[in-house]
Amino acid sequence: MVLLQLEISMEINEQIAAYAYEKGVPVMLNSAPSAPLSDTFLSHLTFISPNEHEVEDLTGIKIHRRGGEINQEDVKKAAGKLLDKGVKNVLITLGSGGAALCNRSGCYYAPCVRGITAVDPTAAGDSFVGAFCTGFCCGLDWEELLTFANHVAAITVTGMGALPSLPELEQVEQLLKKEEIVFPELAVLKKQNLKPETAGIEEV
């Protein structure tokens, strides 16, 4: 799997996405910071992961809230615009509203993790996307992916700084267990000398 982000040259992103698409390698774009994206680039993406502000920049559709609840119709409309451009899956982070994953099969939602005292939001988005990609390579289903990524991000915001706040797998498992969430064991992450083919990653 290839993970791209918009702090590097758009030309490089587009070339990598096109090559990976040609080779059948999944591509995730963490679409931060906001920037215009060509239809060709979008059509090469397996996943795009904007937050609610970035998805508004990309689609012109604002995701409203009522009583703190996300308007799911806004989510579907915004995701639909990107799906129409050829993106296969749209992963939208919604802050206190949790996260949503939309594709042609429908939309899947996961609430944010409750009871967390946020200290520093640095790297929350990056840890969410990284965890999602990791879970995808481990074969988790959509709901499991959202749950796993939400819990990784929740732990991340409880610490200061970017790298120092990223959790170990055991911390995530402990939080899931504490919330009595039944979750598959991510045994593939615990193997030593992990080879690309064992994690669903293709070398390019």
Burial class, 47, CB count within 10 angstroms (exposed 0-12 / middle 13-18 / buried 19+): buried
Counting beta carbons within 10 angstroms of the beta carbon of residue 66, is it exposed (0 to 12), middle (13 to 18) or buried (19 or more)?
exposed
Q: Phi/psi class of residue 139: alpha, beta or left (left: φ > 0; alpha: ψ in -120 to 50)? A: left
Provide the residue type at 144 as one letter. Answer: E
Active site residue 126: yes
d(CA 49, CA 128): 10
Q: What is the 3-state secondary structure (H, E, C) of 141-171?
A: CHHHHHHHHHHHHHHHCCCCCCHHHCCCHHH
Q: How far is CA 182 from the centre of its chain?
A: 21
Q: How far apart are CA 63 and CA 196, in angstroms?
A: 38
In degrees, rounded to 5, the angle at the alpha carbon of residue 81 between the alpha carbons of residues 69 and 202 is: 100
Tokens of 28: 């995730």
- From the candidates 57, 74, 126, 141, which is the catalytic residue? 126
Active site residue ranges = 126
